[in-house]
Amino acid sequence: MIELTRWETLTPRARTRLIRKLRPPRATVDPERPYAFHHEQERAPDGRLEHVNVVFLTNRECPWTCTMCDLWRHTTTTPVTADQLLRQLDYALEHLPEAEAIKLYNSGSFFDRLAIPPDAYRGIAERLRGYRRIIVESHPALIGPRTLQFQELLEGQLEVALGVECIHPGVLNALNKRLTVADLEQAVAWLHAHHLLIRAFILLKPPFLPAAEALAWTCHTVRWAVTHEIQTIVLIPTRTGNGIMERLEQVGRFTSPTPAEIEAAAAFLFAQPASVRLLDTWDLTRFYTCPDCARRQQARFARMNQTQTWEAPVHCPSCSQL
Domains of the chain: which residue ranges?
2-280
Q: What is the pTM (predicted TM-score) of this model?
A: 0.96
CATH superfamily, domain 2-280, is: Aldolase class I (3.20.20.70)
CA 236 from chain center: how many Å?
7
- Provide the pLDDT for residue 320: 60
**pLDDT at 212 (0 to 100):** 84
pLDDT band of residue 69 (cuts 50, 70, 90) is very high
What is the pLDDT at residue 1? 64
Average pLDDT value for the chain? 96
What are the Cα distances from residue 104, in Å, to 47, 136, 156? 21, 5, 14
- CA-closest candidate to residue 297, choices 261, 271, 268: 261
In 3D space, the residue among 130, 125, 122, 60 whose CA is nearest the CA of residue 96 turns out to be 130
pLDDT for 150-191, tens place per residue? 999 999 999 999 999 999 999 999 999 999 999 999 999 999
Q: Above 90 in pLDDT, residue 245?
A: yes
Instruction: Render pLDDT for 4-37 as a digit per residue (tens, 0 to 9).
Output: 889 999 999 999 999 999 999 999 999 999 999 9
How confident is residue 80, by pLDDT bands cut at 50, 70 and 90? very high
What's the pLDDT at 315?
A: 81
Q: Which residues are within 8 A (CB) of 160 and not within 5 positions of it... i.e. 6 or more apart?
A: 135, 136, 137, 138, 143, 147, 191, 196, 197, 198, 199
Instruction: Provide φ and ψ at 39, rounded to 5°.
Output: -120, 140
**pLDDT value of residue 223:** 98
What is the CA angle 209-139-104, rounded to 5? 115
pLDDT of residue 319: 79
* pLDDT tens per residue, range 59-68: 999 999 999 9
Contacts 24+ apart (CB under 8 A), 318-322: 318/290, 318/291, 318/292, 318/293, 319/289, 319/290, 319/292, 319/293, 321/259, 321/260, 321/288, 321/289, 321/290, 321/293, 322/259, 322/260, 322/263, 322/293, 322/297
Give the C-alpha separation, 134 to 156, whole Å: 7
For residue range 94-122, what is the model confidence (pLDDT) as tens digits? 999 999 999 999 999 999 999 999 999 99
- Which of the four pLDDT bands, split at 50, 70 and 90, describes residue 44? very high
Q: Which of 106, 119, 14, 13 is nearest to 60 (CA)?
A: 106
pLDDT for residue 18: 96
Cα–Cα distance for residue pair 119/153, rounded to 1 Å:
12
Q: What is the 3-state secondary structure (H, E, C) of 193-226?
A: HCCCEEEEEEEECCCCCCHHHHHHHHHHHHHHHH
- Look at residue 3 and tell me whether its pLDDT is greater than 80: no
